[in-house]
A and B are shown apart, each in its own frame.
Chain A
């Protein structure tokens, strides 16, 4: 703890120090060395952002710029001279004089072990996985030459959750980075999923560990948009094309004034699905908007389903988009 304090000048920030303007400007930035390269960043910047800004790669799973400060997956650990352990760069503030190594043998060894641990509790079914090609787990295993799980033992064996017509949830592929949890809990009246159980049995689940359909999930897909692996995928595009066969085109939703971003997924020039990309200002993404984009851009749009009496049933497009009363008036 004491050693770490060295890197936290904010510990002493209460002290009243009279500064000249010049000194103040100097104090508002910090200079550190990353892989031998001197980097100057604004005070308060994390080591991760300092490195990324300088073009130095550090892998991350759980880090999400929209919900920072989690530090759970530990794949972004780096070596910092004088530190007792290997801190996670996503939650460590850069400090003056810090000497950071992002790819030292010890760091690589640690990252490899973390990847091996993840794979040991993962189906490793990349051949048929929807996420293959844009999966962070796959990418980092490639980068660090991790060919498969080194540890043999128990694996999660949880049933596939297809209860929700829009989202396929495979908790066996989940690496528990918690991005979906933070994304969902960022919206107060959603907050549908969270961590359940302890230790090796930990999983992300709705209340009472039910399926998504039974939960209060509104199918906004905020969770799917941030999942770095194949645990949360879109049901509508499943099996329609590999990642490298499709291209994506960003569109802005016009359903309300917020303007959330969606991606049109195109294969051979044809739209095969619409997926959530990012929330608009003041709007947390919603199902209605995505369905609206689906109807507008997709020649063969998915069948709209809404939950009635706790079960999903197919509905008309006017009902799905909440246009029934307007349609009535237009008659």
Chain B
């Protein structure tokens, strides 16, 4: 295959024909499958077969609204596509009867509609104006939930492989300059300018160079890379190919965690299909440029997301960070110059090459250009994936996209950047999100996981959770991280158990400072951030734990007492029955009492009381 244009016209015809047929599309990303998407798929296929309907049944990846999974899209030619949320097998018949046979959308189940040129249906939010999408841009995520990720035809018909086609006719340095012009910075968290990195690898002397894609997404609450790999695997491959062409590499490795089996499956399939069509392998598109990609499955160590530990792991060694310099750009995989970027960074490349660096740089802030994918998790109404222009405020993400805090509770903090990041309070909701502003606020961009917390969250407990994570995931190479995070964790445990002392806060700060300044790699250098930011913004909670032996959020069991309010209790005895340790006593129709010595603070009694007479104090 030497001419993409010739091939493209045929593929585009096919794709158009596919869009001009009535279709039912099921979201089968990991989130969709976990919600039961495969059962829904089967129910739909059965229903279509039983009723002998002339409808295509297809699947796609996650459109971003994980909260609405299992999601099903129904598209009839000439009318808008409607995405339905929460479609379990029992709702399939209703949906098919209403929308496919009756030709009328089932408004009460619909989440959004994608109109295209068609006249919108009444009563269903149009995607671009809907609450979840109004403030989003869809560039890296544009194919997610829209195309079949296992079809190279869908990818090519939607502009795929046009970037490599364009790149191989360009001068290598022009490509790098285009990336520099775009202002794209590493999306893995560090934020290093991608164009500069490519320039270093391009300029590095070496008989062999490598492209490595970091798909070892390990932050709790982060799934951007997984969603991109599952939804648009070819874009990542194409980004790697463009990088390979511009720096002079002919081999790429994707280091993907083994916990992402679907991503690995779709990547393998994408590689196979691309090779079959001559878009990967030897003499790509007749240009003389060769490029192959292989996948290395990681065994699930968080530290292997650190670039040098990742390289060690690919080489078959223990995943321990190497000293930098030398940076991977000079001595990377097998000591050869290596361009190492993360999934989202590579996925951005085809869009930048096709639309130009200036287009990309038109989005975002002065120092952070373009768009960024975030994962919204925690106590919010809409958990899922969103892509927003840099510079959007945390408040806009919370209130407009995430739909505010669940159950009308009060927002308390948002954790940005995973275990390396920090917790930002209400005062920081106006903060425009970019690499530098987040760092100055004590957090960091990280890979893009945002965990929202409400007023029932104890911030000392949150710090403890993250320290427990980093402590377990420390590789053990350097002293400050291996030993220091353990002592931070032990101090936090003591505080939450009511054994904190006045020296604990200054000791935490002193140790955190030393770990930050002297640890070997980014894991250790950022590990104290959750402690430092919670101390910075929620110091009063630490003080309440230490001085008053109280947990203001009512989370830490050792600091809680359950009390039955005398004036509310009617002596119904329900709580008494619910108590697993017989800590509640009282005669019928008389006020009951909890024996504090026996109580294990499980909280089982609280929901049994219809009069809300049991409180945590």
- Residues of the B chain whose Cβ atoms lie less than 8 Å from the Cβ of A176: 476-477, 479, 482
A273 within 8 A of B: no
A121 within 8 A of B: yes
- Residues of the A chain whose Cβ atoms lie less than 8 Å from the Cβ of B327: 1, 11
Contact with B along A137-151 (1 / 0, CB 8 A): 000000000000001
Once the chains bind, are A199 and B479 in contact (CB under 8 Å)? no
B483 within 8 A of A: yes
Give min CB distance, A42 to chain B, whole Å: 17
8 Å CB contacts to A: which residues of B501-552? 510-511, 514, 516-520, 525
Q: How far is the CA of A195 from the CA of B484 in the complex (A)?
A: 19
Once the chains bind, are A114 and B514 in contact (CB under 8 Å)? yes
Chain A minimum-CB-distance residue to B190: A1
Q: How far is the CA of A74 from the CA of B479 in the complex (A)?
A: 7
Once the chains bind, are B483 and A121 in contact (CB under 8 Å)? yes
Once the chains bind, are B516 and A85 in contact (CB under 8 Å)? yes
8 Å CB contacts to B: which residues of A292-315? none
B102 within 8 A of A: no
8 Å CB contacts to A: which residues of B432-472? 471-472
Once the chains bind, are A114 and B476 in contact (CB under 8 Å)? no
Once the chains bind, are A199 and B204 in contact (CB under 8 Å)? no
B486 within 8 A of A: yes
Once the chains bind, are B517 and A117 in contact (CB under 8 Å)? no
- With known contacts A195-B476, A198-B301, A117–B484 Cβ distance under 8 A: yes
B101 within 8 A of A: no
Once the chains bind, are A110 and B518 in contact (CB under 8 Å)? yes
Once the chains bind, are B487 and A117 in contact (CB under 8 Å)? yes
Once the chains bind, are B514 and A88 in contact (CB under 8 Å)? no
Which one of B204, B329, B483, B518 contacts A120 once the chains associate, using CB atoms below 8 Å?
A: B483
- Residues of the A chain whose Cβ atoms lie less than 8 Å from the Cβ of B190: 1
Which one of A70, A77, A85, A199 contacts B471 once the chains associate, using CB atoms below 8 Å?
A: A199
Chain A minimum-CB-distance residue to B516: A85
- With known contacts A11-B330, A153-B487, A194–B520 Cβ distance under 8 A: no
A228 within 8 A of B: no
- Residues of the B chain whose Cβ atoms lie less than 8 Å from the Cβ of A106: 517
- Residues of the A chain whose Cβ atoms lie less than 8 Å from the Cβ of B326: 8, 10
Q: How far is the CA of A261 from the CA of B487 in the complex (A)?
A: 42
Give min CB distance, B507 to chain A, whole Å: 8
Which one of A117, A197, A201 contacts B479 once the chains associate, using CB atoms below 8 Å?
A: A117
A73 within 8 A of B: yes
Which one of A74, A91, A194, A195 contacts B518 once the chains associate, using CB atoms below 8 Å?
A: A74
Q: How far is the CA of A74 from the CA of B519 in the complex (A)?
A: 7
Chain A minimum-CB-distance residue to B203: A14
B334 within 8 A of A: no
Partner-binding segment picked from B228-236, B317-325, B367-375: B317-325
Which of B204, B473, B477, B484 counts the most chain A CB atoms within 10 A?
B477
Once the chains bind, are B476 and A199 in contact (CB under 8 Å)? yes
Which one of A4, A75, A109 contacts B325 once the chains associate, using CB atoms below 8 Å?
A: A4
8 Å CB contacts to A: which residues of B190-238? 190, 192, 200, 203-205
Chain B minimum-CB-distance residue to A113: B514
8 Å CB contacts to B: which residues of A88-126? 88, 91, 93, 106, 109-110, 113-114, 117-118, 120-121
Q: How far is the CA of A85 from the CA of B517 in the complex (A)?
A: 5
- Residues of the B chain whose Cβ atoms lie less than 8 Å from the Cβ of A154: 486, 490
Which of A2, A113, A118, A175 counts the most chain B CB atoms within 10 A?
A113
Q: How far is the CA of A69 from the CA of B475 in the complex (A)?
A: 17
A165 within 8 A of B: no
Once the chains bind, are A198 and B475 in contact (CB under 8 Å)? yes
Which one of A11, A75, A153, A197 contacts B476 once the chains associate, using CB atoms below 8 Å?
A: A197
- With known contacts A110-B514, A114-B514, A197-B476, A88–B520 Cβ distance under 8 A: yes
Q: How far is the CA of A51 from the CA of B22 in the complex (A)?
A: 76
Once the chains bind, are B520 and A114 in contact (CB under 8 Å)? no
Once the chains bind, are B486 and A200 in contact (CB under 8 Å)? yes
A-B contact count, CB below 8 Å? Answer: 125
Q: How far is the CA of A47 from the CA of B329 in the complex (A)?
A: 23
Q: How far is the CA of A195 from the CA of B475 in the complex (A)?
A: 10
Chain A minimum-CB-distance residue to B493: A153
Once the chains bind, are A4 and B487 in contact (CB under 8 Å)? no
- Residues of the A chain whose Cβ atoms lie less than 8 Å from the Cβ of B519: 74
- Residues of the B chain whose Cβ atoms lie less than 8 Å from the Cβ of A121: 483, 486
B43 within 8 A of A: no
Which of B301, B324, B472, B518 counts the most chain A CB atoms within 10 A?
B518
A178 within 8 A of B: yes
Q: How far is the CA of A73 from the CA of B475 in the complex (A)?
A: 13
Once the chains bind, are A93 and B325 in contact (CB under 8 Å)? yes
Which of A74, A109, A118, A175 counts the most chain B CB atoms within 10 A?
A74
Give min CB distance, B511 to chain A, whole Å: 7
B70 within 8 A of A: no
B342 within 8 A of A: no
Give min CB distance, B357 to chain A, whole Å: 20
Once the chains bind, are B324 and A4 in contact (CB under 8 Å)? yes
Give min CB distance, B300 to chain A, whole Å: 11
Which of A91, A120, A121, A151 counts the most chain B CB atoms within 10 A?
A151
- Residues of the B chain whose Cβ atoms lie less than 8 Å from the Cβ of A113: 480, 484, 510-511, 514
Which of B200, B320, B479 counts the most chain A CB atoms within 10 A?
B479
Q: How far is the CA of A121 from the CA of B486 in the complex (A)?
A: 10
8 Å CB contacts to B: which residues of A58-96? 69-75, 77, 85-86, 88, 91, 93
In the A-B complex, the 9 residue pairs with the closest CB atoms = A202-B476, A117-B483, A153-B490, A71-B323, A199-B474, A91-B323, A113-B514, A151-B487, A200-B486
Q: A-contacting residues of B (Cβ < 8 Å)?
A: 190, 192, 200, 203-205, 301, 318, 320, 323-327, 329-330, 471-480, 482-487, 490, 510-511, 514, 516-520, 525
Write 27 A-B pairs (CB below 8 A) sorted by A numbering.
A5-B325, A10-B325, A14-B205, A15-B203, A70-B323, A71-B520, A72-B479, A74-B478, A74-B479, A74-B520, A85-B518, A106-B517, A110-B514, A114-B514, A118-B483, A151-B511, A153-B486, A153-B487, A176-B482, A195-B318, A195-B320, A195-B476, A198-B475, A198-B476, A199-B473, A199-B475, A200-B486
